[in-house]
Amino acid sequence: MIIAIDGPAGSGKSTIAKMVAQILGFRYLDTGAMYRAVAVRARDLEVSYDDSEALCELAERDAIEFGFNENESLPSRIFIAGKEVTDEIRCAQIDKAVSPVSAHQAVREALVAQQRELGRRDDYVVEGRDIGTVVFPDAEVKVFLTAGAEERARRRAAQNREREIDFDYDRILADIIRRDDYDTNRLHSPLMAAEDAHLIDSTIMTIDHVTNTIVDLARAVDGLE
């Protein structure tokens, strides 16, 4: 079974997708991390973020792998071409670079093929922007998770404070609005809800409430325990 969770930056997708995967015993795939890893690699190799062909070649050639920390059942580390980029993919520079990199159709095709290959083999909770619309249009459960921009910025600031990285609220809010705009208006696979997606607005819902709602949807599909 595939559970597709799409939505804008900061809507709580990662936290919720991981909790759903843990409860159901599914694997977890963070497709945003894959686009971020390609952006890091492009930066390191000094490939221009406008060079569709070179970026695509890189995405096809340099294997992306996920790794586990000890005692963790879900992957939280990511490697590209054998190099760990777990922390680097979250820096402000890559926050900016990932939008133009992920807007290239050729890059998307390369990564979507890898995502489909993984999903063919196991039960997965997959989070991203185009999972229910493009990557797995036949996913058994599709969720489009949203929250107001201010609430998303507040959550991201709190998360950053915990990780001891920049948590300037105004900068984070501006970045969220910029990325929403870019991801929603790009030509290829823009951020949008699939017609058959369940829309969940998490602005005033707790994480547990959202998680349980999705778990119930999955269990209703074929009587999963």
Q: How many residues bind ligand DC (CB under 6 A)?
A: 14
66 is a site residue for ligand DC (CB under 6 A): no
Query: Do 11 and 148 meet the contact criterion of CB atoms below 8 Å apart?
Result: no
CB of 111 to ligand DC, least distance (A): 8
Among 97, 98, 125, 210, binds ligand DC (CB under 6 A): 98
Interface segment toward ligand DC; rule CB under 6 A; list 61-69, 77-85, 98-106, 207-215: 98-106
3-state secondary structure of 203: coil
Phi and psi at 59, nearest 5°, equal -65, -30
Which residue matches tokens 């609430």? 151
Fill in the DSSP letter of residue 88. Answer: G
Cα dist from 16 to 30, 40, 105, whole Å: 12, 25, 28
| Contact string (CB under 6 A) for ligand DC, positions 193-222, x = contact | ------------------------------
Site for ligand DC in 123-182 (CB under 6 A): 128-131, 179
**Residue 129 to residue 5: CA distance in whole angstroms:** 8
Fill in the DSSP letter of residue 133. Answer: I
Residue 129 vs 142, nearer CB to ligand DC: 129
Question: What residues line the site for ligand DC (CB under 6 A)?
Answer: 9, 31-32, 35-36, 98-99, 102, 128-131, 179, 183
